[in-house]
A and B are shown apart, each in its own frame.
Chain A
């Protein structure tokens, strides 16, 4: 069989993998299989600009490099199983697609809790259809209850307030965004949201969604009832690994890869890209991690494409270990939040500005004598963050 790479997943990770394969000189056929009907598009606007202004997927399409013009896109097709030893993936309709090289880029989906109650009016937010559905239900007459106070929950809260909706946020965490930002900074974010009319119910869970056919409210674990016309569940994500079952791979949290993004224990050339990849990072030594930040599929894709191209050419992958500075950003009200590094690994120190306004917060990790910068978060201070990224990038030397 001539070389054929199958990329499972037509999101940002799949796109970057295809481009990187071509960039590394792989000239065989590439098939990208995506379960949505769309070419790769940008998801972050789905909780922000696109949710506020209307969802048009064409406007969200990524630029595709001319080098991948000959890639075959199998869109609206779901991969349900695979046999890596035999070199095939199977689609829902039973058809099999053979490969000599595999890119695992099937991403994540929102976690859903088994909360009893009606399902109409309950939404998750992952793809353009979800965003369009939610968009149609947001307006001045809407009462939105959001479960979860992470990025998606907070961004949708801000957007929904802009559209005039009533917004309640219910979360078990002590403060919004507590995991990436820490408690003090999270509390400042809560105050921003409260000043914009969002109500928080923290340390609480939803026990029941109320209503007969359609959502009318939720009941919290302390008995409080909140009215709701729509309920958004934004409580984290689950990696889409089920189609890899039966191949003796480590699927305990995403798919485990080595520092070249090669799938550990794969019998055939295979790499993983994006949110699904649990990978080492030379800048942050320790356990392999999945990092669901937007810049990572691009960083990982660059590395993984080169690795797979080498393996298919019968060569050893470049031994330079993967090293990238994770970065996230978030727009909420007039706040541009941007981060570099892994703030969650350190303790926050306010180094400039006001925690309730524009500021820079460093995250430092202390171990023994060592006190090192592991991350930084700034609000409306992008320019001042630039030197931090350079410092973090040089951690490996």
Chain B
């Protein structure tokens, strides 16, 4: 298959996941909720399995509702453990997501006759099969199903950010002020967590549960090392995400390995490069400035 029939769709899908997750991830990094994002990406698993069992497909509305519910439930449970149980924040996170993920794996195993989610797929998805699963034909071009769905996800995330920019911005950088002007800080918190859950589940089929974390956090953190300006950070995280998707794909082809794993690795490489060479906040720059 030539580039446009195969490689292009895979790289596009990877890029769409990376951009959707990267945009949301910027807020996770800025709000110091990176590990909560990690937790949610794991704990939506039982929701996905149950919904998949009900609806029979990994891309149905049921699955999205199931996952989003579980994502918000996770946030509630973590808060409950912290506030009422007196459990410290990081322990509460660890306890919650491991339990929910374990339940998810058990559900898969218990129904392994009926479900064809296999354990490896849970971990890293299988983005390579995307071009084979064709969906619609637009203007004579066959568009596979996954990139269409991921495209919708991306548009949804962008819309969410455009509409809610002020709310997200204020509750991220000045929660006291936003409380003072009557903006519901906790509502924005739950909205963000719901968006992360949604992005996780939609990306699940392409990149699996665990690697979604890389897509959420690494490009955003990389951008954070370069700029102070939120809009720039958002755009840069997309740029890094796309670069990693493209280079990661070719790395995976070269090694004949998991594409999602390769993309995550490349995200790490870019982070590493920026870590050293970033103009103001990079390692070398700071050493030279004598800080």
Whether both chains belong to one complex is answered with no
